[in-house]
Amino acid sequence: MNQMLFLRINIFNIVILLYLITYSFYCLKYYLSKNNFIVFALFSLLHVIFGLVTEVTVNMPDCPVFINDICHILFFVFALAFCLELFKYSVNIVYPKNKTEIPTVVAYLISGIAILITSLSNIEYRHGNGTMYSAGVGPTICYGAACSMFIVSVFLLVFNHKKIQRHIVFALLPMTLVSFVFLIVQIFVPEFLFTGADITLVLIGAFFAIENPIGKFEDRANIDMDTHARNRNCYEKDFEKLKARIREDKIEYPLIYVICDLNGLKTVNDNYGHLEGDKLITTAAEILMEQLKDAQNVYRIGGDEFVALFEGVKISVVEEQIALVNVECEKASKNLVTPLTISIGYAVYTQGDDIEDVVRSADETMYANKDAYYKNKGLNRRKIKDSFNVIRDACTKMVRVNLTKDNFKIININLEEKKKETGFSEVFSEWVKGFADAGYVYQDDLELFNDNMNIDYLRNCFTSKKENVSFIYRRKYSGDFFKTFVEFIPADEYRDDNQIVFCYVKNLHQK
């Protein structure tokens, strides 16, 4: 009787799982979601199927041992795979993406070792209350590894519920807690055989948490259907929430605002038609969403303008991902009517700043990069006859630097900065160090300044074909600190064996 009960439970679980998979695949497939619900569901289904199979084979006297063993090993493998996916999902919704790699690798290692031991060890089959069940070193280790990841997932959800979206908490947490109780019961009553039902319960919670069918309809108001990036409506709502979290000091530092704008879209529209222009936009959106992978979201806020928000991600990581955007744009250009290039600017929020000022700083950096792009192409985008003189006069400082020889030529500078008291030196790297040591860099920005002005870093950036290096820091002018924009751009005569670049410095407070 007990065997028939277990079989009925597993058949019922299979029906539920097949329904959820079918609904998810056919009804929600038009949403470009990065979730892994289908993976969750397939592991669940395979675990339940092999649960049903092993319930038959373990109680069948004539069943060959090796078939019974293989079915049980697959039963354990899919249970472990499901718990691994649950663990990864829990870690990813609790922690920033740059902090998930180590725990994920550890979980994979534990899972691999457990599966290896289970495959190599002898599986014992014992008589229980109404049914036989598997035991031994392998099953114990596999079950222990799966339970460990499951328990950690539960604790992550419980202790971090305030950080998680409400629909995920309400959908997933109750199911995981109920399943957690059943798992504890099975430790003391092995023939309880409830793991298939456990996983089904969790998957139901995962369905509403990940697929969120109700939320899909809300997404239609928040997703740009042409590019599948978040739209301006979503950006404005999220930005208001961000400002509220800033006021409550509930953000993770650093908070980095990145703004991106396509170059030459109007020319493409005028010369090749709007279909080619749209192709340029959608290609750019795909690249931005793929390469700015640690961004919380990528938003299309205008026709060819995108914004990405990074929270709790190192500046160096953001810069690497921005560099990858440029690399992928170059690759994608082979299939477009014109080379795809994107002007990108970013600014870092520091505690006490006005977030609107950060947005303006990022915007200014982006437009400075856009101007540099057109200047390098020999175009006078703003119809200024003498662009070089205008740029020179607008800059607080303009220097022609030879990174290879570590020297420089001054084009525009305040003469007060050439004094020894300001750290001045004829050697560029020594001048940078002396300038920082003299107290001209705001203390909280010293690391940012030293990292970006390091001559080896600059050499490597331009050797790797980076178009520019730019950042914003706070420096002292007449006793007060103001935000200052710094950008390095290769000169026309730049070569990898003779790295000549222009360094532009602009006091953003200066009118």
SS3 percent helix, strand, coil of the chain, rounded to 5, is 60, 15, 25
What is the rounded average pLDDT for all residues in the chain? 83
Residues 141-145 have a mean pLDDT of 89
pLDDT at 5 over 80: no
Of 115-124, 174-183, 295-304, 454-463, least confident by mean pLDDT is 174-183
Q: 274-327, pLDDT tens digit by residue?
A: 888 899 999 999 999 999 988 989 999 988 899 999 998 989 899 999 999 989
Q: Residue 305: what residue type?
A: E
Contact 347, 365 (CB under 8 A): yes
Indicate the pLDDT class of residue 184, thresholds 50, 70 and 90: confident
Condensed to tens digits (0 to 9), the pLDDT of residues 303-315 reads 889 999 999 898 9
pLDDT in tens, 255-268: 999 999 998 887 78
Choice between 397 and 360, residue whose per-residue pLDDT is larger? 360
The span from the CA of 116 to the CA of 110, in Å, is: 10
Neighbours of 232 (CB within 10 A): 15
pLDDT for res 30: 40
How does residue 379 score in pLDDT terms, banded at 50, 70 and 90? low
How many other CB atoms are found less than 10 A from the CB of residue 438?
16
| H or E segment to which residue 399 belongs | strand 397-402
* pLDDT given for residue 510 in this prediction: 62
Structure confidence at residue 191 (pLDDT): 61
Closest to 13 (Cα-Cα) out of 177, 272, 204: 204
**pLDDT digit string, tens, across residues 212-226:** 655 555 666 788 888
What pLDDT was estimated at residue 216? 57
Q: Give the Cα separation of 228 and 230 in Å (integer).
A: 7
Q: Which residues pair with 490 in a beta bridge?
A: 501
* Ordered domains of the chain (ranges, CATH): 2-217 (1.20.1070), 221-383 (3.30.70.270), 386-511 (3.30.450.20)
Question: Which of 2-6, 336-340, 412-416, 477-481 has the lowest average pLDDT?
Answer: 2-6
pLDDT of residue 107: 92
466-493 b/e (C-beta count within 10 Å ≥ 16 → b): bbbbbbbbbbeeeeebebbbbbbbbeee
Does the pLDDT value for residue 419 go beyond 60?
A: yes
pLDDT band of residue 345 (cuts 50, 70, 90) is: very high
Q: Is the pLDDT of residue 111 over 70?
A: yes
Asked if 366 and 343 touch (Cβ cutoff 8 Å), the reply is yes
- pLDDT reported for residue 300: 93
Is the pLDDT at 210 greater than 70, yes or no?
Answer: no
* pLDDT for 386: 45
pLDDT higher than 90, residue 509: no
Q: What is the average pLDDT across 447-476?
A: 90
DSSP collapsed to 3 states, 268-329: HHHHHCHHHHHHHHHHHHHHHHHHCCCCCEEEECCCCEEEEEEECCCHHHHHHHHHHHHHHH
